[in-house]
Amino acid sequence: MFLKSEFTFVLTELVGDAVPTIDPEGACFLDDPYPNDPDFRVSPGDYDPTQLSPDICKVRCQALKFMYAGVKNGMFCLCSSVLRIERVSSSLCSVPCTDGSGETCGGEGEYVQVYRTGGKADIKGVSLDVVEKYVQPVGTPFTFQAAFESGEQVLIS
């Protein structure tokens, strides 16, 4: 059974803050479900990889207005405002941080230990353009993609 529906979306402006709903605080994630588009790919720079700790990474990522900080391989700090990756066992994030604190800073390879920065991503505006119209059976799931002004891409299902 097919039902024809036409929707008109009008989203002219949305101003506010996007606040993360997931609180990963030190949880281990596999940043590989999207190999060509990892969540944690932006280095904040301005940190010493031989003295890395989760707190340093959180401060650097928050300064750039990212919602999440990720540490991996003991010495890399990466930032993201998207968390669509798979949570895994904390035993996979057991590489010690290089600052000598005894804390862990992620795992080897694609295993990243994630923290909230306390920051919020600014939402400046939202628009929706309908490129093509399709007739779908009722209850058919669909996915669309949103691009934030920061350049982050988000898939919504």
Q: Which domain holds residue 32?
A: 20-119
Q: Could you tell me if 25 and 12 lie in one domain?
A: no
- 155, 94: one domain: no
Band (15; pLDDT cuts 50, 70, 90): very low
35 and 108 together in one domain? yes
Q: Is the pTM of this model over 0.85?
A: no
Measured between alpha carbons, how far is 80 from 117 in angstroms, rounded to an integer?
A: 10
Q: Which residues of 95-113 are buried (b: 16+ CB within 10 A; e: fewer)?
A: bebbbeeeebbbbeebbbb
Q: Are residues 114 and 135 in the same domain?
A: no
**pLDDT tens digits for 38-88?**
888 899 999 999 999 999 999 999 999 899 999 999 999 999 988 878 889
pLDDT per position as a tens digit, 30-45:
987 666 778 888 999 9
Q: Which two tokens stand for residue 32?
A: 């590989």
